[in-house]
Structures are given as structure tokens and as C-alpha cells.
Chains A and B, each alone.
Chain A
């Protein structure tokens, strides 16, 4: 199981843990993560503007490198996954964007969205399989009540992301079960945490973050897991003190369960 791997900037700075535990777990599961050479920032939110071309280029370069390496492109950060998957969809379906980007980059072989973009969680579900993963758990997280937080970036828009049922996802809950812990279902698990407005409208971000964490807390969760560095920051920093719960990257718990933490 070999994948081209796109970590993204945050995983090299603020979210080193997300990356480190992912690599250790992958090794334990027999997944070969080959980091792309000379990858650049995915472009964050900017490439999503319809008339933006320049900001889509770095995502397209990553997608092309994976194609040339002959692998699917694995992502981990929710935001990078969202951006790369959507840019890839633009390249596959929007002839205008495809033409302009190819004219700009002038690659030897034109790119038209042929690389498959898979998130680390999708690799666990679709390539490893949760049943197989459960067999490799050496340190089951028995008794732990874990709330999965999806946020919006992994799920929506559902027709493009095709990650899981956007209104009733189950992939992280299935992972929690495979790790031997108990998933906690709560209403706000797929609501936006407000991370994007934290600079311009802090009170809204605080209200959103608190409503997510308190919803998980009311449902009896011990902690919340996420795949998104921005959600991680926001759910912790902007949550009302009285409602706080530990926010953990899912890869950290995975590494713990697999005994490679």
C-alpha cells in the first residue's frame, strides 16, 4: 500500500503531532507514505474562488506529482484535503479552469483531474479496513468515550468530497470502535466550529466552538478527536472555560491503540 503523501504547511509547524502519529501508525499498518518532494502550500481557502487560477496552481502541481509517481494522493489535514480535492474536481469537470491552468503550467502531459485524492481516514476505511485495523490494535482504548468531530471541510459539499454521508457520517465512529473505545454521538459533530471567522468575529467563533464542545460534553464524551488543525485550535482556544474537553488528533489515539505512540 503505497501513497504519495501531501502533509501541508500546518503539519510541519503547529500540527506536528497530527503528522508524526500518522506516520508511526501507518508504519504499523503497513502503509507506505511517500512524501511528495517540493510540495507547496495547498493555497488554503483562496483557490475556491471560481475566477482564481494562480492560487490553484500549487494544488495542481501536487496532484500532477502524484500522477507522475503513479500513486493515489494521500492527505491528512482536513483543510488541505478539502482544497486539493475541490481543485482536482475543478480540473476534472470545469473545462475553462482546466484549460487556463494547463496553459499556465504547461506540463509535458496535460492534467485533467486523474489523480485520486484520499484522506488518511479513507485509507484506513477503504484500503486497510476497520476489521483489519482492529486486529492490529495492541492497546485497546477500553472504556474511553470519544466524540468524533468532523467539522465541515471533510464532508461538504457532499457531491464533491464523497467522504461520507454529510448529514450522518460514521467513518470516525467506526474508527473509534475499531480502536476499542466507545463512540459518542452528538448533534453538532458535523457543524462548523467557526474557525474561519476567529480573526474577524471572535464572539461568533466562541459561540460556535462552545456549542460543539458542550454538545459533545452533554452526550458524555471524555474527549474529542479531529483531523483538522484549525478545528483543533478553535475548539480549544475559543471554547468557554466551563465546557472545555480535551481535543486530540485522531492519529494520536490511533498510535496509542496500535502501541506506537
Chain B
């Protein structure tokens, strides 16, 4: 005999303003099987939970329905509540009357009607609920960090500090990421290399950290606590263990005219190269596309000069399989391509550069040894125009709708540094808004304006025209309502930033979700900002949204704390809502095995008793590995004979819900 209790939450005015909660409780009370129904202001509060526990005891309830917010919000909370009162935690159903009802309706009558239907539906389902028990699975005490920029490095260092093993997988030949290309960092103007390279070295020397550089994660299988990853270690044609990083090979290589990625193509590098002096690992790599030996079979100079015998032209890609308990995504960002912004003449003049290119032009290890010179003719620029929001806060398909967040500050930094070093250079900055929230940020920007005399112009640039070695900049000054024309020597574009192009494939591989801009989605924007909705996958750095270095490092450490919390557990409770095959119905067709995204279904030969003289037969039937199954339900829909069913979401339960809605 069912004894169901229904609890309707007001959620303050969130629900109560558009749903008559008393009427919902009243209607629920009339449903067959319901012996108790009430409403309360905040069901999730301690008092609300006490009310539920008391009602379970007083009325000997066998099942509970809570009409409240989305189960994503408080299902776990209420499961604990009913468990504390002696019920099986899976004898609970949530009717979402907030996100799917009160928040989207304006009319109380309509809202109440719908809330009653949703309550009725949950009651119909809970009648068919069966007690379920969560299984246990082990936790592999090692984390995988995808991406070796400052975010990945910081997360790895913190996880290692807690005593757990960490692997960093970085697709470039060195770790360090974008921060290695930056000259100085706001708001303190300390040099990026001075604060980053010690961390890179720490990561390399830490016994718990293993760095797979020039490598990519190719496949991830498994689930939280027990992931299995395949890592492709790309052939660098240099033996990492033998190379001493002396650089003899790079100076002798005859193929010298290859775009130097580290300096963003502003100068060239040889075919065999070490990305930069502080690279970690400091090991050379051969660019097979540019190497004469790889292309024609002749040359071999580097092999001759290498005293360590590290050059291996026949090296092959290597696949490494490793197991992990947790995965950190730290895939970072790139500035957008500017080919759709031809009004700024980026493709027409080498003197129009992006802000990241300017970093290299001002860096002592850059192509000009830190002297700011025009790329076109190597002369000293006397007038520089900065254009902000190139592709950010953009209302058409060319750019991004979001604010890239870091540009206002780095532009103020660039303007200030140029005025400091070259007082004869005029600096103009075109901006839509100057956004400098952050500790010591606005003071920094004020300094650029007040102390360094940077000319900030509110308005955008319409066109940049290369003419006679100058760049004619046409813009508007919205404050004086005038057209502005500036003959500039250089133009610097603050290009929007976007997630690294690998973000999408990494997300697919991990079944982690991304938003329309390819930024990874967090489990909750406020309360779970460093976790992905996919269990065991955590987010670090710009892959989750634009942020500067201080914020990235803070998030990386927060992410590490979550990983440590997971790895510290010896066992994880698994979700008992998994698929189950009814062997008497299974025809062994393999359809379920083919649709299962987790590889949780295998087939086994089993002996079945049958009527007749043979008495038994051997049949091939599906088996679900409960530790691997994530309860997605794909197999239950695909199964042609109805043999697959999902515990907690059985076909019977779902049909009962549909019936309740249609009643």
C-alpha cells in the first residue's frame, strides 16, 4: 500500500508569486495514494527538511514528492533528507515547478494548473519507484591536465603539492602557453617570464608531475574516478632523454626561413628549433614540413653536429595509455583571426599589428630585442593608435558578442609602457567603454591617462588606410561629436579572444558541454564554477571564459582543490539509475551495444531452460557493466524487443508520467 507525501515549496516568491502553492498541495492531497500534502516557504532550509523528516515518520510515508526547483539544484539535498528519515533515497521524486513553471509563466491560473499537472506526474512516477542502492567504484589517484599554460601548470602544481600524481599533456613542444609570449603583466608590470618560468621549472622537477609535451589526448573512456586515456606523443625526431638543449643543431640548420610561431611569424626560425630559451622541456624539435632531410633525404647536418646523438629522423608517434581519477581541462585561448576586419588594414600593412604581436615587438627576446620598431621599415614609430574591442562586443556574425575582458587592461599597459620608454611617441586609444574592475586595475588605467598622458578617445575607428608609409586612421570622437583623423605610424588591434580550436573536440571526447562560443560550461555558474557538469571533469583558466592571469591562477587553484577532494576519496558511490537487460526478452541483436556511448554493454552466452525435449538452449544476451553505465537511456530507446530498461526511469514509469499528464 502506497503512502505518498507531497511537499510544495514556495521558494520565497520565486514559485509562490506565479503558482498558488496551497492549491497545488490541495490538489495533490486528492490524488490516490497521497496521505499527506503541505506547502512551506523554503523546503530546502533546515526547518523545511525537518518538516519532511517529521512527516515521513508521523505518516509512515513510503514515497515522497517535492514540488520545487530543478532536480539539478536540490535532488541530492532531498535524497539525504528522506534517507535520514529512514526511506530509501530513491523513493523520492522532484516536480520542477520553478524553472519549468513559475519562472516561465506570468499568469497565476496557468502556472497553478501546470504545477498541479507536474505534481500529479511525479506522484504517478513515485508509485512505481523501487528502492535502489548505489554501488561503489575505486578512484585512480592520478589526475590528467589537458593544456600546459599557466592554468594547467598551476592546477598541476597544486594537485602534486597534495601528494597526487599529475600528467600534463601539452600540444606544443613546450609548456607555458600564451603567458610565455607576454612581455609585462598588469597591474604590477612584473615581467611575465620572471614569474612564469620558475613555475614551469617547478612543474618539470616535481616528482609527481609528468609532462607530455608535443602530445595530444586522443581518446578518453571510462568515468569519474576511473578514466582511461590514450595520449599521442607526436614524433619530434629528437630523443627527449638524450637532448641537452645545447642548441648546436639549431644554429647549423640550413633551412632557416620558417615562420617562428613563438614570435607570431614576425621573424623566422630553423627547421630544428627550441621554441624559446626557457622552454620546458628544453629539447629541440624538428618541423618535418621544413626539414630538408625529412623532405629530400639529403642534409643530416643536425645529426652530425649533435654530440649527444639525440637526432632520430625515423622516430614515430607513440601512443601512451594511462589511467586517471580526474581530468582538468585547461585548453586556453587564441586571439581571433582578423581576416574579416579589413577596415583596419591588418592584411594590407605590416604596421597594423595585434596586441599579442606588440608584446613580441616590445619583448627583449622578441624579433627586435625589445626596441619597438615598425615591422615595415624598422623605424621608430612616433604616433601609435590603439583600437579596442576588435571583434569583442560585436553585434554581427564577424565577431564575438562577449567582452574579452583582458583588452582594456593590456591596452592601458601597452600605452603606458610606450609612453614611459619613448616619451616622444604619441599614443591614442579608441575605446567603446574602459572596463577596469579588479584590484588596483582602475588606478592603473588612471595612471596611463593622468601620469603618462595617453589620449583616450571614446569612439570607434571606421577605417585605416595605408598611404605613403603612414596609416591614415579615420574615427569618431563621440564626446566632442567630431570626426577624428590621425596619421599614425603603427596601429595596434585589441583582437577578441576565443577558445582554442581544440576545445570542441576535447569537449566531445569528454562528453563535457560547451556554450555557443565554445567556452566550457560550468556545472553551476555561481556555485560550481570550476566543475564541468560531467562528473570528474574540471575547468581551469580561459577555456571556461575570458579571464586575466590573476583570475586564471585563482581558478586553477580552485580547480585543483576540487580534484584533490575527489582523489582523496578511496571509493565513489556510483549512480544506481543504470540500464538493465531482461535476458528473457533479449534477442542478442547488438543494437544497444552499438548505441552505447560509454562501452558499458557486452554480450554473454547464457543457458536458458526451454520447454520440450532439449530442455535448455544457449543464447547470446546483453550484459550491462553497472560501473561504466551512465544511465543515459540510449539503449532503452534503441532496443527493438524492449529488453533494456533503466532503473529509476523505467519505461513503465515514464508511461505512467505521460498518462498522468494526459489525464
A residues apposed to B, CB below 8 Å = 158-159, 165, 167-168, 187-188, 191, 215, 218
Q: How far is B343's CA from A177's CA once the two chains are assembled, in angstroms?
A: 23
Name the residue on B nearest A185 (C-beta).
B348
Chain A hits for B396, CB < 8 A:
158-159
User: Are A187 and B467 in contact, with the CB atoms below 8 A?
Assistant: yes
Interface size on B, residues (CB 8 A): 13
- Closest beta carbon of chain B to A65's beta carbon, Å: 32
Point out residues on B near A: beta carbons under 8 Å.
Answer: 340-343, 345, 347, 396-397, 463, 465-467, 472
Whether A165 contacts B340 in the complex (CB less than 8 A), given A158-B396, A159-B396, comes out as yes
Q: Is the CB of A167 within 8 A of B466?
A: no
Contact indicator B465/A188 (Cβ below 8 Å): yes
A187, closest chain B residue (CB):
B465
Q: List 21 A-B contacts (CB under 8 A).
A: A158-B396, A159-B396, A159-B397, A165-B340, A165-B342, A167-B340, A167-B341, A167-B342, A167-B343, A168-B342, A168-B347, A187-B345, A187-B463, A187-B465, A187-B466, A187-B467, A187-B472, A188-B465, A191-B463, A215-B465, A218-B467
Contacting residues, chain B, for A218 (C-beta < 8 A): 467
CA distance A215 to B468 in the complex (A): 12
**Using Cβ atoms and an 8 Å threshold, which residues of chain B touch A191?**
463
CB-defined contacts of B345 to chain A, threshold 8 Å? 187
Known: A187-B345, A187-B466. 10 other contacts (CB 8 A): A158-B396, A159-B396, A165-B340, A167-B340, A168-B342, A168-B347, A187-B465, A188-B465, A215-B465, A218-B467
* B residues in contact with A168, CB < 8 Å: 342, 347
Q: A168 vs B396: C-alpha distance in the bound complex, in angstroms? A: 16
> How near does chain B come to A191, taking the closest CB pair, in angstroms?
7
A218, B342: Cα distance in complex, Å: 20
Give the number of residue pairs across the A-B interface with Cβ within 8 Å.
Answer: 21
CA of A167 to CA of B466, assembled, Å: 14
CA distance A168 to B345 in the complex (A): 10
Report A-chain residues with C-beta under 8 Å of the C-beta of B347.
168
Please indicate which of the listed interface residues A159, A167, A191 has the most CB atoms of chain B within 10 Å of its own CB: A167
Chain A neighbourhood of B467, CB < 8 A = 187, 218
Q: Which of B343, B466, B472 has the most CB of A within 10 A?
A: B343
In the complex, what distance in Å separates the CA atom of A35 from the CA atom of B396?
35
> Across the interface, which residues of B come within 8 angstroms of A188, CB to CB?
465
Contacts of B472 in A (CB 8 A): 187
- Most B CB within 10 A of own CB, among A159, A168, A191: A168
CA distance A158 to B397 in the complex (A): 10
Q: How far is the CB of B625 from chain A (nearest CB, A)?
A: 50
For A215, the closest partner residue in chain B by CB is B465
Residues of A within 8 A of B341 (CB): 167
In the complex, the chain B residue whose C-beta lies closest to that of A168 is: B342
- In the assembled complex, which residues on chain B have CB atoms less than 8 Å from the CB atom of A158? 396
A177 CA to B467 CA in the complex, in Å? 24
The distance in angstroms between the C-alpha atoms of A218 and B343, with both chains bound, is 19
Least distance between B474 CB and chain A CB atoms (Å): 9
Residues of B contacting A167 in the complex (Cβ-Cβ under 8 angstroms):
340-343
What 8 pairs between A and B have smallest CB-CB spacing?
A: A168-B342, A187-B465, A167-B342, A167-B343, A159-B396, A167-B341, A159-B397, A158-B396
The residue in chain B whose Cβ has the minimal distance to the Cβ of A157 is: B396
Closest to B396 in A: A159
Give the nearest-CB partner of A191 in chain B: B463
Q: A165: which B residues are within 8 A, CB to CB?
A: 340, 342
CB distance from B472 to the nearest CB of A (A): 8
How far, in whole Å, are A103 and B342 apart by their CA atoms in the complex?
A: 43
Q: How far is the CA of A191 from the CA of B342 in the complex (A)?
A: 13
Which residues of chain A have C-beta atoms less than 8 A from B463's C-beta?
Answer: 187, 191
B527 to chain A minimum Cβ distance, whole angstroms, is 38
CB neighbours of B340 from chain A (8 A): 165, 167
A185–chain B nearest beta-carbon distance, Å: 9
Residues of A within 8 A of B465 (CB): 187-188, 215
The residue of chain B having its C-beta at the shortest distance from the C-beta of A219 within the complex is B467
State the Cβ distance, A203 to closest chain B Cβ, in Å: 14
CB distance from A192 to the nearest CB of B (A): 10
Determine the distance from Cα of A165 to Cα of B339 in the docked complex, in whole angstroms: 10
Separation of A215 and B396 alpha carbons in the complex (Å): 29
Across-interface contacts of B397 in A (CB, < 8 A): 159
Which residues of the partner chain A approach B466 to less than 8 Å between Cβ atoms? 187
Contacts of A187 in B (CB 8 A): 345, 463, 465-467, 472
Cα of A158 to Cα of B399 in the assembled complex, Å: 13
Residue of A nearest to B468 (CB): A218
CB closest chain-B residue, reference A186: B465
Across-interface contacts of A215 in B (CB, < 8 A): 465
Nearest CB on A from B349, distance (A): 11
Q: For the complex, what is the distance from the CA of A167 to the CA of B347, rounded to whole Å?
A: 12
B343 (CB) vs chain A CBs: closest residue: A167
Considering the chains assembled together, what is the distance between the CA atoms of A86 and B396 in angstroms? Answer: 17
> Which residue from chain A places its CB closest to the CB of B395 in the assembled complex?
A159
B367 → A minimal CB distance (Å): 27
Bound CA span A165–B345, Å: 14
**C-alpha gap A97/B659 in the complex (Å):** 43
Taken together as a complex, chains A and B put the C-alpha atoms of A191 and B396 apart, in Å, by: 20
Smallest CB-CB separation from A167: which chain B residue?
B342
Chain B residues, Cβ within 8 Å of A159: 396-397
